Amino acid sequence: MTLDPRADGAAARLADVKRVIAVTGGKGGIGKSSVASVLALEAAGIGHRVGLLDLDLTSPSTHVLLGYPTAFPEEPFGVEPCDHAGVRCMSIAHFAGAHAAPLRGASVSSALLEILAITNWGPLDVLVVDMPPGLGDAALDVLKLIERAEHLVVTTSSRVVLDSVNRMLQLLMRVRARVLGVIENMQRAPSSAASELAGRHGVRCLGALPYDASFEDAAGDPERISGTSFASSLRALLPALNL
């Protein structure tokens, strides 16, 4: 026999995590990492115990957005996420630093499983997962390994993005994943695109987040981030996410 035991380990490490919200979308550059990071920050801000797992293994960015340090984690028994601004953060950046991680599919799956199997989240109300773009190995692995994950789908009103996100929603519905709803990000003008897309799949359109030019300057500083209109708009959506 040959049995990889890490899936059993991953389940044990997530046993005290009440909810897992996977922030997903079909395309890069639409603000999934910003939504995931600020969602974690704002949920922690209203008293929830929150973790943030950056699963974009080849291009992690939540450490840049929230400004958490990427030193090797402590490892008393497994590895400890880095506590930052009230959020327990874990990223491959803790191990790779600024080095590139050129990973093919099988290595993405193995690295993802390793991180899930060794990270001590402890008791959390919600673990926010920043998903990589697309329908590749990491997305499929999360669907398989964390079946209870609730998917928060990010889109913009761009037709190119909507086409990709439509494919993502098709997959999620086909595998009967739990979809929290669709959020339109970087909205510059009122648009019905996201609600039409959500309606096509029978899921909720949760609202829109404005394009906020000040967000880039605030990146890396949780306090300044919370003062942006992007963060306040996301904060207003927390009840719709049952947070």
Partner 1 sequence: MHEYALAEAVLRAAARVAREQDLARVTRLEVAVGELQQISQELFERALTEVETASDPRLEGLEPTVTIVSAALQCRACGATFAMGEAAGEQGADEMEAIHFVPELAHSFLACPQCGSPDFEIEGGRGVTIAAMEGVTDDA
Cβ distance to partner 1 smaller for residue 102 or 239: 102
Under rule CB under 8 A, residue 147 binds partner 1: no
Find where tokens 């880039």 sit.
Answer: 216
Under rule CB under 8 A, residue 102 binds partner 1: yes
- How far apart CA 230 and CA 91 sit, in angstroms, is 23
Find where tokens 């909720």 sit.
Answer: 204
- For the CB of residue 83, give the shortest distance to partner 1 in the complex, in Å: 18
- For the CB of residue 178, give the shortest distance to partner 1 in the complex, in Å: 25
**Cα-based distances in Å from 137 to 74, 160, 187:** 28, 22, 29
**Contact window for partner 1 (CB under 8 A) among 29-37, 90-98, 187-195, 201-209:** 90-98
Under rule CB under 8 A, residue 92 binds partner 1: yes
Q: How many other CB atoms are there within 10 angstroms of residue 182's CB atom?
A: 28
- How far apart CA 86 and CA 212 sit, in angstroms, is 24
Under rule CB under 8 A, residue 103 binds partner 1: yes
End-to-end CA distance of the chain: give it in Å, rounded.
44
Residues 6+ apart with CB under 8 A from 89: 40, 51, 52, 54, 62, 63, 66, 68, 81, 82, 83
Under rule CB under 8 A, residue 140 binds partner 1: no
Sheet holding 205-210, edge to edge: 82-84, 87-91, 50-54, 124-130, 17-24, 150-155, 178-187, 205-210
Under rule CB under 8 A, residue 208 binds partner 1: no
56-75 residues in contact with partner 1 (CB under 8 A) are 72-73, 75
Under rule CB under 8 A, residue 188 binds partner 1: no
Under rule CB under 8 A, residue 120 binds partner 1: yes
Cβ distance to partner 1 smaller for residue 74 or 83: 74
Find where tokens 């790779």 sit.
Answer: 96
Contact mark string toward partner 1, 218..237, x via CB under 8 A: --------------------
Amino acid symbol at 5? P
Cβ distance to partner 1 smaller for residue 76 or 190: 76
Cβ distance to partner 1 smaller for residue 71 or 189: 71
Under rule CB under 8 A, residue 13 binds partner 1: yes
**Contact window for partner 1 (CB under 8 A) among 11-19, 188-196, 201-209, 224-232:** 11-19
Please give the DSSP secondary-structure letter assigned to residue 238. G
Contact footprint for partner 1 (CB under 8 A):
1-13, 72-73, 75-79, 92, 94-97, 99-104, 107-108, 110-111, 114-115, 117-118, 120
